[in-house]
Amino acid sequence: MERTIHNQRTAREAGTQLPGSEPPFVAASPRIAMIHNPRSHRNKGRQAERVDGVDITVVQPRTQGELSDALTQLRDEGVEFLIINGGDGTIRDVLTMGQAVFGEDWPALAVLPRGKTNALNVDLGAPSDWSLAAAVEAFRSGRRLQRRALTIADEGAAELPMLGFIFGAGAFTLGIEAGQDAHKIGFFDSLAVGATTAWGVLQVLFGSNANRWRRGTAMQLAYQPSGEGMPHSRHGEPGRRHIVLASTLERMPMGIQLFGKGQAPIRLAVLDRPRRRIFLSLPAILSGWHPDWLASAGLHQISAEAFSIELDAPFILDGEHFPAGRYHIGQGPELTFVTA
């Protein structure tokens, strides 16, 4: 693991001590650390940022094991402010590996959005070009927001759950694949989301029922802990859904308002079948128009404390594919994020 420590102290007035007087009071500097992912899109070919006059421990773990070791050492050193320099995938990995280290007692967190997509940062409201120096200053005087990540636990494995903020399955998985193609031609962040959404809509409107964008995915959804099945309209097969999207974020990229108003803590949008009536109305729906007929037409905007999903195709968590199976989706610890 590459580990660099910047040994520069925060500038402060030393004061003058008269003979026999007490030494001047100097407030202790907070312990600050940064997890730097050099493989993140906007970090490639760039050195980790520095802030003159500020001690910042910078670690660049190459594996999950090294990340776990680094977080353990930072905890033992009393880190108070942990900055994650990377995209949504880096955040997912830090939170996933950090749950066994910090438990319910995490330091304050901040995100430098350096990935191809940075959905969490959109929700937090920091600038897309937020710098390390600005994040350090915000620790002193910026806003603090509380968020809880989703926990995704494989019910057939003994591993710790993954932590992330956007879970998707069905056509959402196809959308992420299309998004990778959008990245290849230079679309990133909200522009990539818009391009991918437009492509998916065109496939649904003009594709045949054999089109993979219209087939749907076999899955079962149930509220937990009750086990009650989630609603399904009369459209499409009862054991299939076209798309499932779940998140604890309050604001989505491009201002998309797919979730219903007042939903919490886990917000879900579930589409049973890709009916043209819904897709022709999609621009208005994504802008916040949620008429009463949506549920009967097959688009459910619902809330859950926790839920389970069993599916026969991969799902997406913060941009990365994970295998089919049966999973329990709940909520992680409350995290405090520092933002502009």
CATH number of the domain residue 88 falls in: 3.40.50.10330
- The pLDDT, as a whole number, for residue 156 is 84
> CB neighbours of 258 closer than 8 A, spacing ≥ 6?
245, 252, 269, 285, 286, 301
Task: Check residue 322 and give its pLDDT.
Answer: 95
37 within some domain:
yes
Residue type, 36: H
Q: Say yes or no: 287 and 171 in one domain.
A: yes
Residue 303 in any domain: the answer is yes
Task: Assess whether 242 and 128 both reside in one domain.
Answer: no
The mean pLDDT value for 135-162 works out to: 95
In three-state secondary structure terms, 15 is: coil
Share of the chain above pLDDT 90, in %: 66
134 and 198 housed in the same domain: no
Q: Looking at the domain assignment, is residue 155 inside a domain?
A: no
* Bridge partners, residue 108, by sequence: 81
* Contacts by 124-131, CB closer than 8 A, 24 or more apart: 124/337, 124/339, 125/251, 125/339, 125/340, 126/339, 126/340, 127/340, 128/189, 130/340, 131/49
pLDDT of residue 2 exceeding 70, the answer is no
User: 127 and 37 in one domain?
Assistant: yes
Range of the domain at 104: 2-8+27-147
Please indicate, yes or no, whether residues 72 and 178 belong to a single structural domain of this protein: no
**Are 170 and 98 in the same domain?**
no
Across the range 186-192, mean pLDDT stands at 46
Residues 191 and 108 in one domain: no
- pLDDT at 211 (0 to 100): 57
Total structural domains within the chain: 2
- Assign 28 a pLDDT band (cuts: 50, 70, 90): low
Please give the residue that has the higher pLDDT: either 134 or 1. Answer: 134
- pTM of the model as a whole: 0.83
pLDDT single digits (tens) 9-23: 332 233 334 444 444
Query: Residue 128: CA atoms inside 13 Å, Cβ hemisphere, count?
Result: 11
What pLDDT shows up at residue 178?
A: 53
Domain end among 115, 147, 179: 147
pLDDT digits (tens, 9 = 90+) for 214-236: 678 999 999 999 999 999 999 99
| 109 exposure class (CB count in 10 Å sphere: 0-12, 13-18, 19+) | buried
CA 60 from centre of chain: 20
Same domain, 237 and 312: yes
pLDDT at 337 over 90: yes
Same domain for 260 and 139:
no
In a domain, 20, yes or no: no
Whether 29 shows a pLDDT value over 90: the answer reads no
Is the bond preceding 265 in cis, omega lying within 30 degrees of 0? yes
Residues 127 and 194 grouped into a single domain: no
CATH number at residue 297: 2.60.200
Q: Is the pLDDT of residue 191 over 90?
A: no
Q: Please report whether residue 329 resides in a domain.
A: no
Strand order across the 320-322 sheet:
299-304, 266-271, 243-247, 166-170, 315-317, 320-322
Residue 32, pLDDT > 70, answer yes
The overall average pLDDT reported for the chain is: 84
Is 266 a member of any domain?
A: yes
In degrees and rounded to multiples of 5, residue 136 shows phi and psi of -60, -45
Residue 21: what pLDDT?
44
Q: State yes or no: pLDDT of 182 exceeds 50.
A: no
Q: What is the pLDDT of residue 117?
A: 80
Q: Looking at the domain assignment, is residue 16 inside a domain?
A: no
Residues 184 and 133 in one domain: no
**190 and 47 co-located in one domain:** no
Q: What is the pLDDT of residue 4?
A: 37
pLDDT digits (tens, 9 = 90+) for 80-131: 999 999 999 999 999 999 999 999 999 999 999 999 889 999 999 999 999 9
Flag whether 238 is in a domain.
Answer: yes
